Amino acid sequence: MSRTKNISIFLITIILFSVFGYMGAELVHGQTLSWGSQGEDVTLMQTRLRNWGFYDGPISGIFGQQTYDAVVRFQRANGLAADGIVGPQTRVAIGLPTRTGGTTTPASRGVSRSDDVHLLARTIHSESRGEPYEGQVAVGAVILNRVRSPQFPNTLAGVVYQPCAFEPVKNGAINQEPGESAYRAARDALNGWDPTGGALYFWNPATATSPWIWTRRITLRIGRHVFGV
Amino acid sequence: MNWRRYTLPIALGLALLVSIGWGAHQYNQKIDYHTYLDLQFQRQFYELIGHVKNAQVDLAKAMVAGSTTDTAKYLNDTVYQSYMAQNKLTQLPLDHLAIRRVEKFLSQLGDYSTAMVNKSLDGVVLTDDEMGTLTDLHSYVNLLAQELIVLQQQIVKDGVNFGDLRRNANRNLQALNKRMETFNGLINMEERMQEYPELIYDGPFSEHMTDRKSRLTGKEIDEKQAIDVLRNTIKEDLTNIEIAGDVQNTVFTGYYIRAQKPGNRNGDNISAVVTRQGGKLLWYINPRIINQSRLDKDEAIEIAQQFLNDTGYEHMVPTYTIAYEGQILINFAYKQDNVIVYPDLIKVKVALDNGEIIGYEAHGFLMSHHERDIPDPEISEEQAMERLSSAVEVENVRLVIIPTAGDHELLCYEFRVTFGEDRFLIYIDAKTGDERKILLMVEQEDGTLVI
């Protein structure tokens, strides 16, 4: 009897730990900054608040009394609820990144582009695994050309997640972790390499089902893919 | 004894009950998700209609507004509404190929309005032609709004299920096409739009920018000469060089060349394109694995500079660099009469392990380079500096030419300034003294990025 009891206590402890562990992880990556928060976002916020004259303490990366007061002053001045907690609205008002995300990209990788690189690399990986390297760069370039084109959404996420546009988005293959060459290809595409010369479409002649796609003018063939405008 | 006989049936019966329960639960969950998805799509559809209607109203207001500031205000709203409408439309599970012209129209409406906003903000009254274009656009967007409202009524009546639409799209095209009949209004709209001429304007993302002509001159070369160009530019051992294809229907047509490089991992072939006209290397990629870095930034820049000189590009100055994963990307711009010409851009990538050139991209340079007739600035450096905010500290100033939307170029003073902890580049028009652009420089250990 006492043995089953021990086991249940043990199990309950494990369950509780995993629940708290999960919540803990949520807090670290969550969006709300408040008294006691630390990290890059706090540094960024302190810098902004100091530039705007709300804060005159040190840029310490630690949310303390002075930071709290500064946040309250900032919230009052901007018509936000002056609670000293940096929730989603205050976050936007201060101009902090609104998605901290579960993946921790190294801080030295550039601010606005690290998200882009990741999403682009995943798309490239799922669309053109096993293709020659420049074929992967080309797929990345097509996606970026679409972002620039008036016929498609104006953001990378808009283009990638556009319904009926990419097969891997439909079947979820896009969520796989990209390989190293997909990352390099994504960076090369973002840095301006475009093997396709401005193509907006690519397809695999062996599997393409839509007759419409053949009305496009072909610019180049690389590996199994055909690129066109 | 008796109960042994029943153990198995009871166990199986229980298992059956459990799986039925589980199945029912899963089914309900599926219905839930399906409904949720459907509602999300419905919401986007209604929002789309809302944005199109608002764009129509704002555009009408902009045309009757009395002052240029009011015009700018309403056009600004039009820009926002049309981009939002396009955003919603592209997220609906409609066959995006069938409605791409509608998408393009919404985007162009936004672009054109942006261009007109900028004019109005400068206090310029719109010309009759521009007003005419706005009127045309207005009649379009009006038509689109009406079409969408009809569609909305149909959907309410027939109860189109967007979730089903998506599912059928996954299964087969036939079923999708049948479903799409409901959206005939939108597709007819598409046909009617074909009758309208293409818009000509100076907005960003505009179509005609992709129809630009290159300034490249020279004789057409053949395949053999193209391979020689690659060999002479990339002075490295290349084996199995082959013409792997043709680049067509682009600004630069050319030969697509692949080759093996001794020492590269199997499959890591190098590739390049040499233009047919003039025989210039357009781009080059060597995707080899890079080992531990042994060079620093300055050494890499020197190597890249030497490479450009050897290739025949003189007066190129390094502007910005970014290093990642053992390689460094260096942007070079052309310098004429002490003015940095940013549109004439060549990018060179150097491997930091042995200083090999592993990437090259000259699209910008080949596209726009010519000897320019650079005018003298009409305002002095001091006058330009007075346009800056008094809060910034100027570190450096130089004359540059920057590209602007619509293939134009502007002579500007480039001020490198600090404000607080951040550094910015501010561009002041050397002719009018207007502030043209502000870039935030994000400096990192591995290079400088401008946003």
Token reading at B66: 């009395």
* Mean pLDDT, range B24-50, rounded to an integer: 85
The answer to whether the Cβ–Cβ distance between A161 and B91 falls below 8 Å is yes
Measure CB to CB from residue A192 to each of B94, B244, B347 and give the nearest one. B347
* Whole-number average pLDDT of chain B: 81
Token reading at B199: 């818009």
Confidence band (pLDDT; 50, 70, 90) for B97? low
The fold of A37-94 is: Muramoyl-pentapeptide Carboxypeptidase; domain 1 (1.10.101)
User: Which among B177-191, B213-227, B336-350 has the top mean pLDDT?
Assistant: B336-350
* Mean pLDDT, range B87-113, rounded to an integer: 78
- Complex ipTM value: 0.70
Mutate to test the interface with A, among B213, B246, B271 (most CBs of A within 10 A): B271
A5 touches chain B (CB under 8 A): no
CB atoms within 10 A of CB B226: 23
What string of DSSP letters covers A4-45? Answer: HHHHHHHHHHHHHHHHHHHHHHHHHHSS-B-TT-BSHHHHHH
A152 touches chain B (CB under 8 A): yes
| CA end-to-end span of chain B | 82
pLDDT at residue B267, rounded to an integer: 72
Q: How far apart are CA B361 and CA B341, in angstroms?
A: 17
Confidence band (pLDDT; 50, 70, 90) for B211? low
Residue B281 pairs in a beta bridge with B274
Contact B169, B93 (CB under 8 A): yes
B38 touches chain A (CB under 8 A): no
Where, residue-wise, is CATH 1.10.101.10 in chain A? 37-94
Residues of B with Cβ-Cβ distance to A164 under 8 angstroms:
93-96, 169
Residues of A with Cβ-Cβ distance to B264 under 8 angstroms:
none
Min Cα distance B337 → chain A (Å) is 27
How confident is the model over B424-435, as pLDDT tens digits? 888 889 988 888
pTM, two decimals, is: 0.66
Burial of B42 (0-12, 13-18, 19+ CB in 10 A): middle
pLDDT at residue A110, rounded to an integer: 33
Confidence band (pLDDT; 50, 70, 90) for B326? confident
How confident is the model over A79-98, as pLDDT tens digits? 777 788 887 777 767 766 54
Residues of B with Cβ-Cβ distance to A154 under 8 angstroms:
83, 86-87, 107, 205
How confident is the model over B365-394, as pLDDT tens digits? 998 888 889 989 999 999 998 888 877 889
Q: How far apart are CA A69 and CA B52, in angstroms?
A: 44
pLDDT at residue B449 is higher than 70: no
pLDDT at residue A54, rounded to an integer: 80
Fill in the DSSP letter of residue B277: B
pLDDT at residue B266 is higher than 60: yes
Q: How far apart are CA B228 and CA B234, in angstroms?
A: 10
Q: How far apart are CA A67 and CA B92, in angstroms?
A: 44
A130 phi and psi, to 5 degrees? 85, -5
Q: How far apart are CA B442 and CA B451, in angstroms?
A: 7
User: Sign of the CA dihedral A71, A77, A78, A79?
Assistant: positive
Q: How far apart are CA B415 and CA B438, in angstroms?
A: 10
Confidence band (pLDDT; 50, 70, 90) for B102? confident
pLDDT at residue B450, rounded to an integer: 59
Residues of A with Cβ-Cβ distance to B104 under 8 angstroms:
150-151
Strand order in the sheet with A225-228: A201-203, A225-228, A218-222
Q: What is the CATH number of domain A113-228?
A: 1.10.10.2520
Q: How far apart are CA B208 and CA B115, in angstroms?
A: 14
Measure CB to CB from residue A163 to each of B92, B103, B325 and give the nearest one. B92
Q: Considering only residues B155 and B253, tell me which one the structure prediction assigns the higher pLDDT.
A: B253
> What are the Cα distances from residue B94, in Å, to A209, B73, B89, B297?
17, 33, 8, 50
* Whole-number average pLDDT of chain A: 73
Q: Considering only residues B408 and B230, tell me which one the structure prediction assigns the higher pLDDT.
A: B230
The answer to whether the Cβ–Cβ distance between B449 and A210 falls below 8 Å is no
How confident is the model over B355-365, as pLDDT tens digits? 999 999 998 89
| Amino acid letter for position B279 | G
Please, which residues 376-405 of chain B have a Cβ atom closer than 8 Å to chain A?
A: none
Please, which residues 153-172 of chain B have a Cβ atom closer than 8 Å to chain A?
A: 166, 169-170
The answer to whether the Cβ–Cβ distance between A219 and B173 falls below 8 Å is no
CB atoms within 10 A of CB A98: 9
| Residue carrying structure tokens 């330009």 | B384
User: Which among A20-34, B52-66, B373-387 has the top mean pLDDT?
Assistant: B373-387
Confidence band (pLDDT; 50, 70, 90) for B103? confident
Contact B431, B378 (CB under 8 A): yes
CA B254 to chain centre: 23
Token reading at B428: 């002041």
Q: Considering only residues A153 and B96, tell me which one the structure prediction assigns the higher pLDDT.
A: A153
pLDDT at residue B303 is higher than 90: yes
B302 touches chain A (CB under 8 A): no
Question: Which stretch of A97-106, B364-373, B414-423 has the lowest confidence by average pLDDT?
Answer: A97-106
Tell which residue, B275, B286, B260, has the closest CA to residue B229: B275
Min Cα distance A99 → chain B (Å) is 19
- Give the CA radius of gyration of chain A: 24
Residues of A with Cβ-Cβ distance to B347 under 8 angstroms:
191-192
Percentage of chain B beyond pLDDT 70 is: 83
B86 touches chain A (CB under 8 A): yes
Tell which residue, A220, A225, A197, A222, has the closest CA to residue A134: A222
* Mean pLDDT, range B232-242, rounded to an integer: 86
| Amino acid letter for position B233 | T
Q: How far apart are CA A95 and CA A83, in angstroms?
A: 18
Measure CB to CB from residue B247 to each of A113, A184, A220 and give the nearest one. A220
Confidence band (pLDDT; 50, 70, 90) for B88? confident
* Mean pLDDT, range A65-88, rounded to an integer: 81
The answer to whether the Cβ–Cβ distance between A191 and B347 falls below 8 Å is yes
Q: Considering only residues B365 and A41, tell me which one the structure prediction assigns the higher pLDDT.
A: B365
pLDDT at residue B341, rounded to an integer: 92
Min Cα distance A152 → chain B (Å) is 7
Domains of chain B from N-terminus onward: 21-192 (no CATH), 223-368 (no CATH), 381-450 (3.10.450)
Fill in the DSSP letter of residue B380: -
Token reading at B61: 């207001």
Confidence band (pLDDT; 50, 70, 90) for B170? very low
The answer to whether the Cβ–Cβ distance between B250 and A181 falls below 8 Å is no
Q: Considering only residues B206 and B350, tell me which one the structure prediction assigns the higher pLDDT.
A: B350
Question: Count of A–B CB contacts within 8 Å?
Answer: 143
pLDDT at residue B443 is higher than 70: no
CB atoms within 10 A of CB B122: 11
Q: Considering only residues A154 and B447, tell me which one the structure prediction assigns the higher pLDDT.
A: A154
Sequence-distant (6+) residues with CB within 8 A of A48 are A94, A95, A96
Contact A51, A37 (CB under 8 A): no
**Which stretch of DSSP H or E encloses residue B303?**
helix B297-311
Confidence band (pLDDT; 50, 70, 90) for B96? low
Give the number of residues written for chain A.
Answer: 229
How confident is the model over A160-202, as pLDDT tens digits? 887 767 777 767 777 778 888 888 899 889 888 888 888 889 9
Where, residue-wise, is CATH 1.10.10.2520 in chain A? 113-228
B33 touches chain A (CB under 8 A): no
* Mean pLDDT, range B10-14, rounded to an integer: 93
pLDDT at residue A131 is higher than 80: yes
pLDDT at residue A11 is higher than 60: no
User: Which among B33-42, B150-159, B359-368 has the top mean pLDDT?
Assistant: B359-368
**Which stretch of DSSP H or E encloses residue A226?**
strand A225-228
pLDDT at residue B281, rounded to an integer: 94
Question: Which stretch of A131-135, B167-171, B344-348 has the lowest confidence by average pLDDT?
Answer: B167-171
The answer to whether the Cβ–Cβ distance between A150 and B444 falls below 8 Å is no
User: How many CA atoms does the CB half-sphere of A215 hold within 13 Å?
Assistant: 4
